[in-house]
Structure 1
Amino acid sequence: MSTHLCRQFRVTGRVQGVFFRASAQQEARRLGLTGHAANQPDGSVTGLICGDREAVAAFEAWLWRGPSAARVAQVELADSDVRPPSSFDIG
């Protein structure tokens, strides 16, 4: 039996101006996940991903690739006990 969880993420590298957030939204929806992603002033993208443990793991692996124009340098992940949102939004 799979369990649900939420994880916060922070991705650094060339991740702004390359459709990272929109691609993350598309990937999350494909995997049936909810959450959000937002650009940060330091050039990183941060967010939250919630759903089935296996789908969250697949999304976390995707974060290391991102869209084709992205150049991911680092991915930081942390468990979160927030209430899961009902959709995946970008800000």
Structure 2
Amino acid sequence: MTQRRLVALVDGHVQGVGFRWWARGEAAGLRLSGSAENLADGRVRVVAEGPEGALTELLRRLPSGPGRVDEVVEEWAEPVGEQGFATF
């Protein structure tokens, strides 16, 4: 099972609607570690690490989160050892 790191930049109306907490719950349900944080430009940055299949599923779910998702830009990398899931 290949471990990977996903960085997803979620654009739209995603701040102030509970998107970070929703993403945290989705990631926890998939047993992923990482974080979700609001960016100054209005996007939410979701970082997750774990099995590639679970990350792909999280990526598939992101557009259905609360608010309005206009675009999700993904970047894949090698994991760095995230533990737990934080929100900022």
The TM-score bracket by the shorter chain reads over 0.9
Per-residue CA deviations over 1:1-54 (Å, capped at 9, x if unaligned) read x21100111000010011000000011000000010100111100121110111
1:30 paired residue number = 29
Change (3 A) 1:82 1:53: closer
1:90 paired residue number = 87
The CA distance in 2 between the partners of 1:44 and 1:78, in whole Å, is 15
Q: Residue 6 of structure 1 contacts residue 84 of structure 1 at CA under 8 Å; is this kept in 2?
A: no
Identity between Structure 1 and Structure 2 (%) = 33
Q: TM-score, normalised by structure 2?
A: 0.94
Structure 2 unaligned blocks of 5 or more: none
2:55 paired residue number = 56
2:3 paired residue number = 4
2:70 paired residue number = 73
1:17 paired residue number = 16
The CA distance in 2 between the partners of 1:42 and 1:82, in whole Å, is 26
1:45 paired residue number = 44
Match of 1:58, as an amino acid?
E
- Alignment coverage as a number of residue pairs: 88
- How far 1:81 moved relative to its partner? 2.6
Q: TM-score, normalised by structure 1?
A: 0.91
Match of 2:84, as an amino acid?
S
Structure 1 unaligned blocks of 5 or more: none
